[in-house]
Structure 1
């Protein structure tokens, strides 16, 4: 049964990509897939978030900063473990010139899980203004689409990533660190930046 499902997934993904390339908007997403890949890359987000914590050391941001940092680390670990266990190979690109990349495993999509988790946390766990919801959801949808159109993942890989991202968001809601705990963690990360820290001037 599982083998048949995976075969159908391969066939449907291939047909979807072939049809999508006939649509200008979707073809544009494929052409810019590397940009969307970088916009949700785990290392980029991790390094960027640590920089954000370092540069913007305000008490009202501590909870979001710490909980998002933990969520990003959790996502990287969970995706790596599942990929190592499942070991599903990435699609063979129809265009042989497309870069395959060093990561050979496809299920689940780490970009899809990360984008979904980030959106979930910013919309429900520590809500941002409603006006940012449409561009945030557009970014998540485009990242997920680009993974299929760039032939880096099958459709089931992306759906699996979205599901894992939602579960990670729910888990972070349960593990949500308090303001006091968040302050302690930020102090330990950047004591010279935080008022009252050892090196504060």
Structure 2
């Protein structure tokens, strides 16, 4: 599977870093910037699947090349799955991570159940056909923010099986639990059958 170029339809450097840590030398992952594409693709839909599909289809239409995208949401069960598909813009279109965390903790403050999950959906367009893959990481929300690694809700999310928040983990530690890694491993297993 070496030497396969695959465009990752994102401008998020943190996501690119996480994906490259999973794929290693097996795939040549190109961010939009690395592929010479300057575009900010909207995420107008109400499901992770539809947003992921939108992004990969836009990039495929531009490049006619194999590509993939992902959409990830934090789903908090006591809040009926919020922030979910709106995770990055939970507190508004500014994508302010701290404001998002503050709003989530405020809405969760009187709830007993702090169970949550990160869910990633990847849309891969390979040889002009689309395939979807999903990765889930279950855990708990803890209002005591810790750590400086990662991004988004990582300072308040503790995955099941760990006492550390994602933001306290190295990339290798996070990838033992990561929803994004689980979805990406499915994509890589799929490509192994095609290559």
TM-score w.r.t. the length of structure 2 is: 0.28
Q: Which has the higher contact order (CA 8 A, sep 6+)?
A: 1
Look at both structures and tell me which one has the larger radius of gyration over its CA atoms: 1
Please identify which structure carries the higher strand content.
2
